[in-house]
Amino acid sequence: MNNPGISNRLRKEMERFLTEPPSGISCCIRDSNISTLDANIIGPPGSPYEGGVFHLEVQLPREYPFQPPRVVFITPIYHPNIDEGGRICLDLLKLPPSGSWRCTTTIANVLIAVQCLLASPNPSDPLNPEIAALMQSDIKQFEKTAKEHTLKFCKVGSLSGAEANTQSSNHMPEKMDCD
């Protein structure tokens, strides 16, 4: 990303993110070209993802913030709005008129929206229709399967206890060194 305006915007976003981090979310620039971010989200309390630490990759387009980032789950997740490749069905990640992305939307806004999607899946707009159908027909079985999947693929606990590992089902500590 060579645009100084974009670099300045992202620097300000990351400074604010580090000084006022959203609860249960961590984020850090992966490399020197600042187009890739690593993020972790703790599964929300009361959800089948509760306590699981989910690693995501955020790819910023050259046109950011006028184009939305590409956000994918690296950690496998059993969710009606997230496919097997980790792609997320979320209006905030799409441009109008079908989506709600605005140039004032921040990376923190996006990650909070993803965390909210974990708390409240939307089976009426699925990327994974089979999981959505199960959620609608047998919520108990959906929750059981999602919990089992979370235990199988996630480190369960707090971000501060998670190991930094960006090669597989990546987890990072709550306070990340982004220098």
Q: Which are the catalytic amino acids?
A: 89
Please state, in angstroms and rounded to a whole number, the distance separating the CA atoms of residues 44 and 1. Answer: 33
Please state, in angstroms and rounded to a whole number, the distance separating the CA atoms of residues 71 and 103. Answer: 16
Q: Strand (E) positions, 25-174?
A: 25-29, 36-42, 52-59, 70-73, 155-156
Answer whether 119's CB lies under 8 Å from 23's CB.
Answer: no
Please report where in the chains the tokens 């965390």 appear, as a residue. Answer: 115
